[in-house]
């Protein structure tokens, strides 16, 4: 187990005459035994970040520390970490036993000890009965376990996983996800997990690092990321269905700020801890999650009028696509499926769950005070970000 600090990491790729920025000024600290996820759209630099931590790529600028030791120039095998690759990279010409034991063999471990250790980790992921098979004789899920077992075999301090579930079908993915979490709870390695699937990140991690175009957007516990998104990108990336974003004007009074949307307005108390940014802007973007919109039949004074354009039942909920004076909105309604396209409805936006974002920078200005069953952010020791080391 070890903590990891990334400080001012910068990486670009040059192919031919073009240079392509992959990671831009990344700072990240991961505590001992913590499970963190790197999440973001495809191509945002997650894998590159992970590979730099592993030592498979070297950053153009910035430093990487493991347990306070600068490992930026240390070769991969000496960093005390293992990695699970997206396609597993299980050696097809070796049996499962040889695959898991390969790192031990290289380390020069005695045969008997190797065998013992291989059995141990194989038991951990429940593949003891497959040890003599070749990878081609395994299913996708079994291969994934072999890859995980191999990563654990040398008992590294840190385990890196690059989209390890993306090649599995949906059901197996859910099951394996839960098993991974249990595994982490049992063995407690520091784990860094790359995924483009926000649900995986939310369910697995102690903290989530959200990236976009090579830039870290927010690094916090899942509940915080969900309830207090740092900016518009995080707000719309995390959560499904996506948060509604509606342009609004702000009018600042003595004790309250009035938020106006065409056909609806509300007033928020001024000066509380809910306000994060400047309180004197006259325009903002309102963010509201679909399930924080209450839908009433018919037109009601003081509520936002809208027309149903489409209903998608999901089993327990209905996703309503709405048209409010030309603006497309989405609401999520529990236990009601009797809407029809063309129905006139009116909407209540929950003030406790309302967010405001700056129009230009996208930074959050205001978060409603409600918490969805928050859990405390994990306390962690270890060095704080080594700012300015670059």
Partner 1 sequence: MALHSARESYPGQNTPGLRDQAGGRGKALRSIIGTAIVAPWLLPALLIIGLVQIGPMLYAIWLSLYEKDAFSFTWDWVGLGNYETLLQSAEFWSAAGFGVWFAVLSVVVQLAVGVPVALLLHQNLRGRGLARGIVLLPYMVPTAAMALVFALMMSDIYGVFDHILVSLGLIDEPIPFLGSHAWALPATLVASTWKWTPFVVIVILARLQTIEVSLYECAKVEGANAFQRFRDVTLPSLRSTLLLIVMLRCIWMFNKFEVPYLLTKGGPGSETTNLPIYAYKVTFLQNQQGLGAALCVVMFAMLFIFASIYTSIVKPEKEIEVE
Partner 2 sequence: MATTRFLSKGLNYLALAAVCLFFMFPMYWMLKGSLETAPELLSAHLLPGSISSEAFRELIGQASFRQYFFNSATVAIASTIVSTTCAVLAGYGLARFKFPGKAAMSRGVLFCYMFPSLALSIPLFNIFYSIRLGNTLFGLMLTHVTLSLPFGIWLMWQYFQTIPSAFRENAALLGAGRFRTFLEVELPLARSGLIAVAIFAFALSWEEYEFAFVLITSEASKTLPIGMTQFVTRDYVVWNMIMAAGITMAVPAFLLISFLQKYLVAGFTSGGLKG
Ligand X SMILES: Nc1ncnc2c1ncn2[C@@H]1O[C@H](COP(=O)(O)OP(=O)(O)O)[C@@H](O)[C@H]1O
Query: Which one, 47 or 346, has the nearer CB to Mg ion?
Result: 47
Number of residues that bind ligand X (CB under 6 A): 12
Q: Which does 45 bind (CB under 5 to 8 A by kind): ligand X, partner 2, Mg ion, none?
A: ligand X
82 binds partner 2 (CB under 8 A): yes
Which one, of 311, 288, 307, lies nearest residue 299 by Cα?
307
370 binds partner 2 (CB under 8 A): no
Distance separating alpha carbons of residues 167 and 147, to the nearest angstrom: 13
277 binds ligand X (CB under 6 A): no
For the beta sheet containing 355-357, the strands, ordered from the edge strand earlier in sequence to the opposite edge, are: 264-269, 256-261, 244-252, 283-288, 355-357, 364-367
Distance separating alpha carbons of residues 118 and 120, to the nearest angstrom: 5
Q: Residue 285, by phi and psi: left (phi above 0), alpha (psi -120 to 50) or beta?
A: beta
Residue ranges of the alpha helices (H) in 188-279? 198-204, 222-227, 232-237
Piece in contact with ligand X (CB under 6 A), picked from 38-46, 105-113, 281-289, 299-307: 38-46
Q: Is the dihedral of CA 387, 220, 358, 259 positive or negative?
A: negative
Answer whether 16's CB lies under 8 Å from 64's CB: no
Q: Which does 48 bind (CB under 5 to 8 A by kind): partner 2, partner 1, ligand X, none?
A: ligand X
Number of residues that bind partner 2 (CB under 8 A): 23
Residues 72-111 that bind ligand X (CB under 6 A): none
What does the block give as tokens for 378? 């994990």
Instruction: State which of residues 121, 160, 230, 331 lies at the interface with partner 1 (CB under 8 A).
Output: 230
Answer whether 166's CB lies under 8 Å from 92's CB: no
Distance separating alpha carbons of residues 260 and 282, to the nearest angstrom: 10
To the nearest whole angstrom, how small is the minimum distance from the Cβ of residue 44 to ligand X? 4
Answer whether 128's CB lies under 8 Å from 142's CB: no
Answer whether 92's CB lies under 8 Å from 135's CB: yes
Instruction: State which of residues 22, 83, 127, 192 lies at the interface with ligand X (CB under 6 A).
Output: 22
Residues 43-62 that bind partner 2 (CB under 8 A): 51, 54-56
Instruction: State which of residues 40, 103, 239, 305 lies at the interface with partner 2 (CB under 8 A).
Output: 103
Piece in contact with partner 2 (CB under 8 A), picked from 87-95, 166-174, 197-205, 331-339: 87-95
Residues 200-229 that bind partner 1 (CB under 8 A): 207, 215-221, 224, 228
Q: Which does 93 bind (CB under 5 to 8 A by kind): partner 2, partner 1, ligand X, none?
A: partner 2
Burial of 291-307, coded b for 16+ CB within 10 Å and e otherwise, reads: bbbebeeeeeeebbbbe
160 binds ligand X (CB under 6 A): no
| Paired sense of beta strands 61-66 and 69-70, if any | antiparallel
24 binds partner 1 (CB under 8 A): yes
Interface residues with partner 1 (CB under 8 A) are 8, 10, 12, 15-16, 19, 24-28, 60-61, 207, 215-221, 224, 228, 230-231, 276, 363, 377, 385, 387, 390
Interface residues with ligand X (CB under 6 A) are 13, 15, 20, 22, 40, 42-48
Interface residues with partner 2 (CB under 8 A) are 51, 54-56, 75-77, 81-83, 85-87, 89, 91-93, 102-103, 106-107, 150, 154
């Amino acid at each position: 187990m070890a903590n990891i600090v990334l400080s001012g990491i910068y990486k670009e790729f040059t192919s031919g005459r073009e240079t392509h920025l992959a990671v831009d000024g990344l700072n990240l600290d991961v505590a001992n035994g913590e499970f963190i996820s790197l999440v973001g759209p495809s191509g945002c630099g997650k894998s590159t970040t992970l590979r730099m931590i592993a030592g498979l790529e070297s950053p153009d600028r910035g430093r990487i520390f493991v347990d306070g030791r600068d490992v930026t120039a240390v070769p991969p095998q000496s960093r005390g970490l293992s990695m699970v690759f997206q396609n597993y990279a299980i050696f097809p010409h070796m049996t499962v036993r040889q695959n898991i034991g390969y790192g031990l063999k290289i380390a020069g471990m005695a045969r008997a000890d190797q065998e013992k250790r291989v059995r141990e980790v194989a038991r951990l992921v429940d593949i003891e009965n497959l040890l003599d098979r070749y990878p081609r004789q395994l299913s996708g899920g079994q291969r994934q376990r072999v890859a995980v077992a191999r990563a654990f075999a040398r008992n590294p301090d840190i385990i890196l996983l690059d989209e390890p579930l993306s090649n599995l079908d949906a059901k197996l993915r859910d099951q394996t996800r839960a098993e991974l979490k249990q595994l982490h709870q049992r063995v407690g390695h520091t784990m860094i997990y790359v995924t483009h699937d926000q649900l995986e990140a939310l369910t697995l991690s102690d903290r989530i690092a959200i990236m976009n175009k090579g830039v870290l957007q927010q690094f916090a516990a899942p509940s915080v990321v969900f309830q207090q998104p740092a900016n518009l990108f995080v707000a719309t990336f995390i959560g499904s269905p996506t948060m509604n974003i509606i342009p609004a004007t702000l009018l600042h009074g003595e004790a309250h700020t009035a938020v106006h949307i065409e056909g609806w307005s509300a007033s928020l108390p001024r000066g509380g801890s809910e306000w994060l940014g400047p309180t004197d802007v006259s325009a903002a973007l309102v963010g509201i999650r679909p399930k924080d919109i209450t839908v009433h039949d018919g037109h009601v004074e003081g509520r936002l009028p809208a027309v149903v354009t489409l209903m998608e039942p999901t089993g327990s909920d209905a996703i309503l696509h709405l048209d409010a004076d030309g603006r497309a909105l989405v609401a999520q309604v529990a236990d009601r499926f009797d809407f029809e396209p063309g129905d006139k409805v009116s909407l209540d936006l929950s003030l406790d769950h309302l967010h405001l974002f700056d129009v230009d920078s996208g930074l959050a200005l205001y978060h409603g005070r409600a918490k969805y069953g928050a859990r405390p952010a994990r306390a962690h020791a270890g060095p704080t970000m080594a700012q300015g080391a670059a």
